[in-house]
Amino acid sequence: MTANKIRRNQHLVNKYLLVSTVLSLALLLSGCATPSSPTGGPRDEEGPTIVKTEPETGTTNFSERGIELHFSEFVERSSLVQSIIVEPDIGIEYELDWGRKSVAIEFKRDIPDSTTLIVTIGTELRDTNGNEMASPHKVAVSTGPEIDKGKLFGRIINAQTGEGNEEQRILLYQQPVDLSQKADYIATTDTSGSFQFEYLSAGRYKAFWVDDRNRNKIWDTQQERAQPFEREFVDLAKAGEDTLGAIFVTAVDTLKPVLQGIGLFSSRRLRMRFSENIELTDSTTIQVTDTLGNGVAGTNPLYIPPDEPFVLFAQSNEDLAEEQSYSLDISGVVDSYGNGLEPIAQTFTGSAQEDTTQQRIITRNNLSGYYPTDTVKVTYAKNIDEPAIRDSLKVVRGTELVEQWPNVGVENNILMIAPDSVWQASMEYELRIWDPIIEDYRKLQPTIWGASQLGKIRAVAEDSAAGEIHLRLRNEESEIRRNALFSGEVTIDDLPALQYTVTAFRDRNGNGQWDFGQVAPYVEPEPYFVQPEVPVEQGMTGDLTIVF
C-alpha cells in the first residue's frame, strides 16, 4: 500500500470518528433539553392541549403512584412546574419523569384511602413557541370505590367597572379550618371572572378571595388583601352543587404617590414624574423655595399629559437660577384613590436654559358635550402670553361669524370660553381656536345638551331591607358624576344621552361608606351593585332595578 493511500484511509477514519462524535453529542443534548418542534411552515399560534391521561379522569379504586399526561405538541418543561396543582393539599410530594410529548407525575408515597385526588394543569403551561394552554385541564381519580362529585361556583367582579376579573385566586378550606395552613383547594377565575371547584366531598367549606401574590395558597394577612363571600360557610351535600355568589373586589390603595424626579426644560418650566398616575384638584398649589427659605413668586401647575398621567408640567413666574438649589412643596395633587403626596425631600438646581417649548393645544374639557351654562376650557402647553390666542378667537353661531366673542378669559395656560348667556341647543356652534404650532385654527363643534336632549334614570331597589342606599352615577369622559341617597327609589334627571356606570350599596351600619366585609373574624359584606353601560335616551326615563 502506498504512503498516499495510507494517508487517505487515515483521513477517512478520522472524519468518520468526528461525525460519530458530533452525532453522539447531539443525541445526548437532545435527551436533556426540552424537545422543539421542526421549524418552517405557518407560525404556531395555538397552545398545547392534553390529548390523553393515564388513568382517565373519573377512575376509581386507583392504587398506582403516578398519573401520566400526553400533550398534543412539545411543551416548555419549566412551565409545567408552575402550572401543576395537586388537591386536596395533603402534603404529597411528587417528581416528574419526562417523555418526548408526555410526562409522568410520580408521587413519593401512596395516596390515602377513599381520597379523591385532583391534578390540575393550569394555563401557565406553554408550548415551545410560548403559546399558553387555552383552559385548565383536570384529572380526578379516587382511591375508593366512588369519586366525589360536589361542585361550588362563583364569580369575582371588579367593583368599579362591573366586569369579571380574570386570573383571580379563591382559596377553599374544608372544616376544620386553619387559615395558617395551605388551602385544601384553589380556583382561578376565567376571562368572565367565573370559577368552579369540582370533585368535592360532602362537608362544610369556607371560601374567600385573596390577592395571593406569592402564590403559596396561604393568606398572608400582613401583605395580602382578602375579601369574603356573603356566606362564611357553605354546607355541601354528597354530589351536591351550590353557588358562593359574587365578590365585588375593590382596590384599596393607601400608598401615597412619590415624586420620583424633577427636570427643568428651561429656567421656568418644570417636569415632575411621580410613582403613579396623579390628578389635580381645585386646591392644587406648587411652592418653590430657595435654600434661604425664600419663596419664589408663583409656580403654576400646567397640565398632566393624557398619554403620561404620572407626569405634571408646571411653570414658575420667576427664573430659577442655575447656581441656586431649590425645594418643592406640592399640595392638592392626589392619586385616583385620593391619597396625597408623600413629603418631598429632594432638591433640584435651577437652569439658564431658555424656554423653547412650542405653544400648542394639549386638550379640552368635557369631550362629549356641554350643558348650556358650561365653560369650554382649552388647555395649552404653557402660560398664554400671546394676545393672539385670546384675540384671534372666532365663534360661528349658526351662520353668524362673531369676530370678538364677549366672554373669553385666560387663566395661566387655559383659554376659557363661556357662553354669552347660555349655549343654545338649537344652535350650531363652531369655535375657531388658534393653535400656534400649526399657525392655523383648530375648529371645535361642541355638542350642547339642551333640555330636549336630556333624559332621566329612575333607580328602584328590588327589596325594602333596612339601610339606606348610596348610589353613584358617572361618565368619566364627560366629567359627569352624580350621587344620591334613597331608600325605595330615586330619579336622576338632566342626564345627556350617554352611557353611565352605576354603583350602589346598602349602608347597613350607617357609616356612609361601603364595607366589603372581613375574612377573619368574619364580617359579612354590605350588599353591593354595579351596572356598566347604562344608557340614557333623549326625553326618556330609563328604569334601573337595583338587585343586591
Q: What's the predicted TM-score (pTM) here? A: 0.73
Going by C-alpha positions, the residue among 259, 275, 260, 278 that lies closest to residue 337 is 278
Residue 429 has phi, psi (to 5 degrees) of -120, 145
Mean pLDDT throughout 226-235?
A: 96
- Domain 452-546: give its CATH architecture: Sandwich (2.60)
Residue matched to cell numbers 404620572: 310
Residues 6+ apart with CB under 8 A from 131: 44, 45, 46, 47, 48
Mean pLDDT throughout 382-407?
A: 92
Are domains 50-142 and 259-349 of this chain identical in fold?
Answer: yes
Mean pLDDT throughout 88-105?
A: 92
Residue type, 548: F
Residue matched to cell numbers 370533585: 199
pLDDT of residue 22: 42
pLDDT of residue 3: 43
Q: Confidence class of residue 67 from pLDDT cuts 50, 70 and 90?
A: very high
Burial track 196-209 (b if 16+ CB lie within 10 A, e otherwise):
ebbbbbeeebbbbb
- Alpha carbon of 35 to those of 131, 215, 476: distances in Å? 15, 28, 51
- Domain 50-142: give its CATH architecture: Sandwich (2.60)
User: CA-CA distance, 33 to 30, in Å (whole number)?
Assistant: 5
75 bridge partner residues: 127
Instruction: Reply yes or no on whether the pLDDT at 320 is more than 80.
Output: yes
Give the start-to-end residue ranges of the domains of the chain: 50-142, 150-249, 259-349, 361-444, 452-546
Residues 6+ apart with CB under 8 A from 425: 372, 448, 449, 450, 451, 452, 453
pLDDT of residue 90: 82
Residues 6+ apart with CB under 8 A from 308: none
Residue matched to cell numbers 400526553: 70
Mean pLDDT throughout 203-207?
A: 97
Instruction: Work out the number of other CB atoms within 10 angstroms of the CB of residue 389.
Output: 20
User: CA-CA distance, 254 to 237, in Å (whole number)?
Assistant: 42
Q: Which CATH number fits domain 361-444: 2.60.40, 2.40.10, 1.10.1060, 2.40.50?
A: 2.60.40
Structure confidence by residue, pLDDT tens digits, 420-431: 999 999 899 999
Instruction: Reply yes or no on whether the pLDDT at 5 is more than 50.
Output: no
Percent of the chain with pLDDT over 70: 91
Q: Check: CB of residue 320 under 8 Å from CB of residue 352.
A: no
End-to-end CA distance of the chain: 100
Residue 106 has phi, psi (to 5 degrees) of -105, 115
Order of strands, sheet of 194-200, starting from the edge strand that comes earlier in the sequence: 194-200, 150-158, 241-249
Instruction: Reply yes or no on whether the pLDDT at 24 is more than 50.
Output: no
Q: Are β-strands 169-174 and 203-210 bridged in parallel, bridged antiparallel, or unpaired?
A: antiparallel
Structure confidence by residue, pLDDT tens digits, 125-160: 999 999 999 888 999 999 999 999 999 999 999 998
Instruction: Reply yes or no on whether the pLDDT at 23 is more than 70.
Output: no
Q: Check: CB of residue 227 under 8 Å from CB of residue 251.
A: no
User: CA-CA distance, 69 to 358, in Å (whole number)?
Assistant: 63
Residue 16 is given by DSSP the state H
User: CA-CA distance, 263 to 380, in Å (whole number)?
Assistant: 20
SS3 content of the chain, % helix, strand, coil (to 5): 10, 45, 50
- Mean model confidence pLDDT for the chain: 89
The CATH T-level fold of domain 150-249 is Immunoglobulin-like (2.60.40)
pLDDT of residue 10: 52
Order of strands, sheet of 528-535, starting from the edge strand that comes earlier in the sequence: 480-486, 468-475, 499-507, 528-535
User: CA-CA distance, 449 to 437, in Å (whole number)?
Assistant: 31
Q: How many helices (H) and strands (E) does the chain have?
A: 3, 37
pLDDT of residue 125: 94
Instruction: Reply yes or no on whether the pLDDT at 47 is more than 60.
Output: yes
Least confident window among 31-40, 95-104, 212-221, 384-393: 31-40
Burial track 255-288 (b if 16+ CB lie within 10 A, e otherwise):
ebbebeebebbbbbbbbbebebebeeeeebebeb
The CATH class given to the 259-349 domain equals mainly beta
Element (H, E) at 417: strand 414-417
Element (H, E) at 82: helix 77-83
Going by C-alpha positions, the residue among 513, 540, 515 that lies closest to residue 248 is 515
Percent of the chain with pLDDT over 90: 72
Residue matched to cell numbers 418543561: 77
pLDDT of residue 36: 59
Q: Check: CB of residue 191 under 8 Å from CB of residue 164.
A: yes
